[in-house]
Structure 1
Amino acid sequence: MKKIYLMVASMIMMFSITGNAQIVKAEIRATGLTCSMCSNAINKQLKALPEVSNVDTDLNTNTFTVTFKEGNELSPKTLKEKVEKAGFFIGSLVLTAKAETINKSPYIVVNEKKNDAAEVQFQVVDKGYVTEKEFKKLSKSYKDIATYSANNEDDFHIKILN
């Protein structure tokens, strides 16, 4: 009986830990859109993710605000792949996540901004998550961060916004 209790307790702890490591919301500004049909293609790709709760689209700014279901384990790479599968690119990706998320690999914080909030808003500043022009500018700013210039697709360099 004790073994079953310990096993159940361990499983509850394991799921509660993974539940804390999650993205709550994403603001994706896409590039290359010329009409509402373009935005529909991205919208359809994002809504196909089982972790997505809702997608709101602003056609004036080409921004997609994606709300996620509780307990998801999505990475920015998944969002990038979905936008690219629709035939477009990310010009900016701003995420809101539980604070514990950014303290874990594969996130690398490029600015030292103290934040004690339960949720943190941050921008992914890697190649493919910002415009090419912005990436060139950021490469100069972050030249002292060895992993930034390595351009590893499994690392996410983030700039904390709040």
Structure 2
Amino acid sequence: MKTIRYFIIILFMFIGGSTFAQQISKAELQVNGLTCSMCSRATETSLKSLGFIEDVTPDLNRNVFVLTFKSGQKVDLDQIRDKVQDAGFSIGDLSATINFKNTAVDDAGLAQLDGSVFQFINAKSKTLDGPVIARIMDKDFITSSAFKKKAAELKSDTYLKGKGLVEGKETRIFHLSI
């Protein structure tokens, strides 16, 4: 009887762990500074080197890349930013489809999902369940003028630094708009 109970507990842990393994399913990335197809190709190649990216589909008319991510892989938004910058360009906008699973957003706009902390700029005291398209509003994920405007509006050290104290630890906090 104990063996069956342990088996069921392990099964739930495995299923529960894989449920949050992929919190972001796709993203639309606008890149600033692209002037030709070679620039686009350099950015695409740089992005494809990330192990969690399944596919990169460029749209040269809009300077946008549609990113799809490998199933079961955790997506690192900071690595995406770094790869765009390594290719010599900057992010103008990044919108991602984030799969929330009954995730509570507290009255301050904070939510935690699979080890990531999100600060919602325009959502508080609600529960998110299912895919939500969110725009990442942090520095280097939007234009510098848009960041300066939002920083003046929010007047928050956490927004300026991209980090804050969560449960007593300095933690990376992504600022989102939905």
Scaled to the shorter chain, the TM-score interval is 0.7 to 0.9
TM-score with structure 2 setting the length: 0.77
2:61 matched to which residue of 1?
Answer: 60
Deviation at 1:149, TM superposition (A): 2.7
Cα displacement string for residues 22-70 of structure 1 (whole angstroms, at most 9, x for unaligned residues): 1111111011111100000111111222222221111111100001122
The structural deviation recorded for 1:2 is 4.9
Match of 1:154 in 2: 172
Instruction: Give percent identity, aligned residues only.
Output: 35
In 1, Cα distance between equivalents of 2:73 and 2:154 = 30
**Secondary structure of 1:118's aligned partner:** strand
**Structure 2 gap ranges (5+):** 106-110, 164-170
For residue 50 of structure 2, what is the aligned residue in structure 1? 49
Query: Which is richer in strand?
Result: 2
Letter in 1 for 2:154: Y
> SS in structure 1 opposite 2:96?
strand
Amino acid at match of 2:69: F
Cα distance between partner residues in 2 of 1:88 and 1:149: 21
Q: Secondary structure at the match of 2:20?
A: helix
Matched residue, 2:151: 139
Looking at structure 2, the residues matched to 91 and 117 of structure 1 have their Cα atoms a distance apart, in angstroms, of 28
Structure possessing the higher relative contact order (Cα contacts under 8 Å, 6 or more residues apart): 1
Contact conserved, 2:162 with 2:174, CA < 8 A, in 1?
no
Amino acid paired to 1:124? I
Question: Does the aligned pair in 2 maintain the 1:124–1:159 contact within 8 Å?
Answer: yes
Instruction: Indicate the RMSD between aligned Cα atoms, in angstroms.
Output: 2.4
Amino acid at match of 1:16: S
Relative to the length of structure 1, the TM-score reads 0.84
